[in-house]
Chains A and B, each alone.
Chain A
Amino acid sequence: MYPTHKAGDYLVIALNGEVDLYYSPRAREQILGALESGAHVLVDLSAVEYIDSSGVASLVEGYQLAREKGLRFALVGVSQAAMQVLQLARLDTVFPIYEDLDAALAAAAQGQGSADERAGP
C-alpha cells in the first residue's frame, strides 16, 4: 500500500518508486478505492522515479471517476519526466496539477481543483 494522509479535506496518496506495469495496479486500486469511499484525492507524485503509461492510465481512470462522483482530484509534485509522459498523451492540460500540497490546498480553499472544472480526458 502507498502511504496516505489527510490534508484539508483531501486524502493524499503518495505514490513512490516506479509506477510501471508491475506496480500500477496497486496504485489504481488505492486511488479508485479512495474515490469510491467518497474522498477528495490528491495524488502526490514527488517521490515517483518513473511512471509509465499504465500508471498514467490509472490516474486517468481516477480522474474520470472523480468527475462522475463530483469529487476533487488533482496531482502534485509532478516531476519533469512524469510531465513529459503526460504531455505526450496531451494530458498535461487535462489534470488539475499543482506544484505542491500547499498550492493544492490554497486552490481548494478558493474553490478550485474541482474535478469538473476542466475538460475530461
Chain B
Amino acid sequence: MNGPGPEETIPEEVTPEDVIQVRELVAHYGERRILHGISFGIRRGEIMVIMGGSGSGKTTLLRHMLGLRRPTSGSIHILGRDITRIGRRELYRLRREMGVAFQGGALFGSMTVAENVQLPLREHTRLDENTIRIMTRMKLEVVNLSGFEHLMPAELSGGMTKRVALARAVIMDPKLLFFDEPSAGLDPVVSAELDELILKLRSAMNMTIVVVTHELESAFKIADRITVLHEGRLLITGTVDEVRRCENEHIQAMLHRRPRKEAIDADAYLRRLTGR
C-alpha cells in the first residue's frame, strides 16, 4: 500500500475505505486547465456515475483514473495504490483488477468477437485453451451474445459492439469496471438493456462500477451515487435524490435540459474574431 505521502492530506470528500480516491486532481492539456482540484471517493461495490456536459472534464477524469494520463497535481488511489505515481510494472498488475469498456468498443477489427473478448486472458494469464474458450462463451452468454463468437466487429450493430466490449472488460472478473458512455449512439431499448446488464453484473460479481455518461435516464436508473462535473469543477457527489434536490443552476439546467448560457468575454471574443 502506498498511502498519502507526508505532505498529502486526505480531502474530506474521501474516506480511507473508498476503493477509488480522487484527491485534489488538477489536469491540463497544454496550457489549458481541464480539471480544477477534483476530490471524491468511490465505495466498494457501488455504481458511481460521472456526469457532465461536453467539455466538463469527465472524459479527462476517466483517462486519469485509468492511468492513461499523469495529472499536473493531486493523486488517484485505486485499491490502495496511487495510480499517478506507480511504475509501469505495478500499473500493469493493477490493470488486471480493472476492466474498461471504451465508448466506441475499441475492438480489433481483424479479430473475431471471441478473440477480442479473450484478449486479456491471453495477455495476463496462462490458462488452458479449453478454460479460455469456456470463459469466453460464458461471458458472451452473460451479455446475450451467445453464438456470435465467430463474427467480425464490422458485422456487429452498435449495441452488440458495446456488449462485446463489456464482455471483454469483465472476462477477468475485475474488481473495478469502468464504462465510458454506455448509452451513446444506442436506441432507448438497447440502452435500457445495457443498464440492466450493468446492474446484473454488479449484483452477481460485486464489482465496483464507474460509468461516465451524459444520459440522465440511464444515470438515474443505475447509479448509487452521481458525481457531476461542470467546466472541470465538481459540483456535487451524492445520491440520485441529492442530485435532484441540488439547487445549483448548472445541475438544474442539466436536469431540465436547458441550453447553457455562455458568458461571453467581449474583449476576448473580439480578439478571437479579429485576430488582434
Contacts and interface: CB of A to CB of B under 8 A. Distances in A.
Contact of A21 (B141, B142, B172): B172
Interface of A: 20-21, 24-25, 28, 52-54, 56-58, 60-61, 81, 84-85, 87-91
Contacts of B125: 21, 54
Interface of B: 124-128, 130-131, 134-135, 138-139, 141-142, 171-173, 200-201, 203-206
Given A25-B127, A25-B128, A90-B141, A57 B204 contact: no
Closest 8 CB pairs of A and B: A88-B204, A57-B134, A52-B173, A89-B138, A84-B204, A57-B131, A57-B135, A53-B135
Contact of B135 (A25, A54, A87, A91): A54
Given A84-B204, A88-B204, A88-B205, A56 B130 contact: no
Interface of B, helix, strand, loop or mixed by DSSP: helix
A84 B171 CA distance: 16
Interface centre among B126, B128, B205 (most CB of A within 10 A): B128
A54 B200 contact: no
Contacts of B204: 84-85, 87-88
B196 to A, nearest CB: 13
B142 A88 contact: yes
Contacts, number: 55
28 contacts: A21-B125, A24-B131, A25-B126, A25-B128, A25-B131, A28-B128, A28-B131, A53-B135, A53-B138, A53-B139, A53-B171, A53-B173, A54-B127, A57-B130, A57-B131, A58-B131, A60-B134, A61-B131, A81-B206, A84-B204, A84-B205, A85-B205, A87-B204, A88-B142, A88-B204, A88-B205, A89-B138, A89-B141
Interface of A, helix, strand, loop or mixed by DSSP: helix
Nearest to B201: A88
A57 B135 CA distance: 6
Nearest to B131: A57
Contacts of A89: 138, 141-142
B172 to A, nearest CB: 7
Contacts of B141: 89-90
Nearest to A29: B128
Contacts of B206: 81, 84
A28 B135 CA distance: 13
Contacts of A85: 204-205
B92 to A, nearest CB: 15
Contacts of B203: 84
Nearest to A60: B134
Nearest to A56: B138
